[in-house]
Chains A and B, each alone.
Chain A
Amino acid sequence: MSQSRVVFRGMFLPYLLLLPQISVTIIFFLWPSYQALEQSFFLEDAFGFSREFVAFDNYAALFRDEGYLRSFGTTIWFGFSVTFLSMSMALLLAVCANRTVRMATGYRTLVIWPYAVAPAIAGVIWFFLMNPSLGIVAYWLKAMGVDWNHYMSGDQAFAMVVVAASWKQISYNFLFFFAGLQSIPKSLLEAAALDGAGPIRRFWTISFPLLSPTTFFLLVVNLVYAFFDTFSIIHATTSGGPVDATSILVYRVYNTGFIGQDYGGSAAQSVILMVLVIVMTAIQFRYVEKKVVYS
């Protein structure tokens, strides 16, 4: 925070102005998070009458639970699949749109609108398109010899939620890649062209390295999106099934707490997720600080 600013004096006013933000933060963010932390060290009976301090037992139980460990693996696999798929598609489209001179905005409009579609709605739409009996994508897949039924096959259900989650995210990545490509100085590319570098060579030796801050930023944002914002895709379509195949961590927290009523276990899962978000946000901000310094 800069020190040399001219500032107003006031005893109560600044606190008054901060009051709404801070009270919402304390009541609905900090207090519940503290509760989760506390709860995770206790074992509560099913009716909530008594509880017993069990230290790290809830955590130990989680890491002994095969289902939880599988969810961990599913989440990571899911996160990287979504990130890779949506980022590579978006980069390809952004590079092409950047090559066109007049049509770029037209293409942009047609690519960015899915940003506004709720993940839940994206999930439901793909659930319909891939419905084994009346979905057109399922029909094509069957024509290609794939025995498609995501109600039965865990792998196929997983593929379906990956596609739905990636489809929605392409537009976001496209916007940032496109902006990044537009800001690359033309003179650099022209110089390379004069030296005889073809378009593909120019992309890999100039554009791609210069895009790396954008790429890294998007990598973190996409992972956060895939880990936390995709709850609704899962909940609205597969409900974590079949047999846990699409039960990512955020879905499991909800399931353990609301359906399974295991409060200690759910709280311990919450705390683990919080640590995960904190680490990812820290990485993102460290990077942002660097960008500010260099530019």
Chain B
Amino acid sequence: MIDRRPLLDIITHLVLIIGVIAVCFPLWMTLVASTHAPEALSSGRIPLWFGDRAWENFSDLLAKGLPEAGGTPVGLMMINSLIMALGITIGKLAVSIIAAFAIVFFKFPFRPLFFWMIFITLMLPVEVRILPTFDVVTKLGMLNSYVGLCIPLVASATATFLFRQFYLTIPAELVEAARMDQAGPLRFLKDIVLPLSRTNIAALFIILFIYGWNQYLWPLLVTTDPTYTTVVMGIQRMVNAGESLPVWNYIMGTATLALLPPVLVVIFMQKIFVKGLVDSEK
């Protein structure tokens, strides 16, 4: 604090409190709506406090799903989301760690070409090449499978750059020492580079997990079989469930389940998450 201005301090806190309420209010209403019976939501008086149907709503959702929307249990959707999120995260990390290792610690023909090929993936998000990518996945027989959900998304320019950036800070003496001790490149990767990149891997893990869990368009395209539905994508079927009116208590329950895992990760690993986010955007 540079100068004392009590009035300004009060205004500051007032703005912050209003801001925080505005940011958190939608979550509050989501949680509240998920604990009521459908009649309570449509009776005209919008409830602002929790109802008594939390247990029924959530156990119905997790075990049975919503009949109007195909009846896939949300519990199964959550498992699918988890498999997809972990598959994408671990895949991206593994692929990027070794690719960056090759680019930084080896000299070989066409190195810049590979570097640029990886770079260019930044410029080609799924959204802009939907149809042809779908064709490729169809031809490879990867529709309706976990492989199809994960593999096409594991290339990562951001992660590769981040690891490259980090490897470049590893002192040359370490490489030299490793070579003098007759350690081969793979030994060097395993015993020196990987332990040194622990915090980077952890930070990136969080960012990529959120990215993977929140995928929408991709699962929408490659899964037509409801047993592969993920929760973030599946909610849309409940909202647009044909003629029947949306069952908002169930939809908000599903929204709660869909947002809880990544939100909890952010809240409990805030420090490392912030580091990961700031690093990966450099």
Contact = CB atoms under 8 A, between A and B. Distances in A.
Contact of B136 (A31, A108, A116, A128): A31
B277 interface: yes
A270 B16 contact: no
A133 B108 CA distance: 65
Interface string A103-135: 100011111111111111110111111010111
B8 A199 contact: yes
A100 B13 contact: yes
Interface string B21-32: 001101101100
Interface residues of B, number: 103
Contacts of A99: 1, 8-9, 12
Interface string B2-41: 1101001100110110011001101101100100000001
SS class, residues of chain B in contact with chain A: helix
A226 interface: no
SS class, residues of chain A in contact with chain B: helix
Contacts of A133: 42
Question: Of residues A22, A108, A133, A179, which shows the largest number of chain B Cβ atoms within 10 Å of its Cβ?
Answer: A22
B104 interface: yes
A99 B20 CA distance: 16
Contacts of B267: 109, 113
A10 to B, nearest CB: 6
Interface string B242-266: 0000001001100100110011011
Given A8-B106, A110-B24, A236-B236, A273 B128 contact: yes
B19 to A, nearest CB: 5
Interface in A4-40: 4-11, 13-15, 17-18, 20-22, 24-33, 35-36, 39
29 contacts: A1-B103, A6-B176, A7-B175, A14-B108, A17-B101, A18-B103, A21-B96, A22-B118, A29-B124, A30-B120, A36-B132, A96-B15, A113-B266, A116-B262, A117-B263, A118-B262, A119-B214, A126-B26, A127-B239, A128-B30, A131-B248, A175-B277, A190-B2, A199-B5, A237-B239, A258-B130, A266-B130, A270-B132, A277-B123
Interface of B: 1-3, 5, 8-9, 12-13, 15-16, 19-20, 23-24, 26-27, 29-30, 33, 41-42, 46, 48, 94-96, 98-99, 101-108, 111-112, 114-115, 117-118, 120-125, 127-133, 135-137, 140, 151-152, 154-156, 160, 168, 172, 175-176, 179, 184-186, 188, 210, 213-214, 216-217, 220, 232-233, 235-236, 239-240, 248, 251-252, 255, 258-259, 262-263, 265-267, 270, 274, 277-278, 281-282
